[in-house]
Structure 1
Amino acid sequence: MRPPVRRSLEDDPSSGIDVRRVRAVLSMGGVPWQDLDDAMQQVRLKLLEQSSAETINNSAAWTAVVASRVAVDWHRRRRRHEQLRQRLVALRAPAVADTLPDPDRDLAMVVAGELDELPADQRQLLVLRFYVDLTVPQIADVLGIASGTVKSRLHAAVGRMRARLSAKGVV
């Protein structure tokens, strides 16, 4: 079954790219059909960014190269998210909690309970930083936001968590 194709993308002569060829390169690169529209937008953005910086002799060939790089990036991003998911699953394994001494287990339970009470965006940052042990630039890359934004949001999340734990008498 052929994936649905938006006619507006194919009928856009102002873009100057062969949309069917780019979609074919992305598909052959392993990008699933449900992600093709997003990948097409990434190709267009990369072409716009590079068009002012370089003189391109063969735009069709260059477009295919950019599309293949976008497909490779898609696979890398998918692999990175899969590794992150596996690390998070490993952290939630019940066998780990059973091996902790009683005071450590109690502390871990209090921290987990307070972590569950935080807003999802703050909880996500704390888990990525302190449980998955990613650096600020890695978190910024995974979430697709600026490092400065990660730092400020992480600071707010740590402060909120510290306040919640001190209210419980843990910190």
Structure 2
Amino acid sequence: MDRNASFRAFVDAHQRPLMRLAYLLTGEVHLAEDLLQSVLVRMIGRWPRLRHIDRPEAYARKALVNQYISWRRRRVTGEVPSAEPPERAYSPEDSTVLRIVLRQALMRLTPKQRAVIVLRFYEDRTERDVADLMGCSVGTVKSQTHHALARLRTLAPELAPNLPALEDPAHMKEARR
């Protein structure tokens, strides 16, 4: 199998899950497509070496997360902050509305916090897996997760019953000693 055929086979096999991760990170289809395309362009240049590693899809995931976090190109959202939040005319039990509220709250997290939340809870990865993907320590993953969940509770209180419990920071300090 020639180099291009091998890479096409890889893309065919892994494009959907990689695109889903890119979308969850960026929150927009077009930005997700751009992110995935930029990672795949970099990968094809390295494909002669990458095709021999055990899990090139793990490399692609890590590259997506790293590229997303380091992207300097940021789009202006057009959102205008206001002193009063809009009144909510929905039932918090409506799962479609909760998904929309969650997406909007996720978009207001820092890129690292969003990546940690997506990898930990959507992709159901362990703290060690997330640390490896993001190139940081497990402690950083734990603190970013804690801060991100606290921020989500502040941004969208209606999500609180659906979010994992926060550990008491005092308890966390005791555990480190």
Structure showing greater radius of gyration is: 1
The answer to whether the superposition gives a TM-score over 0.5 is: no
TM-score, length basis structure 2: 0.41
TM-score, length basis structure 1: 0.43
Higher RCO structure, 1 or 2 (CA under 8 Å, sep 6+): 2
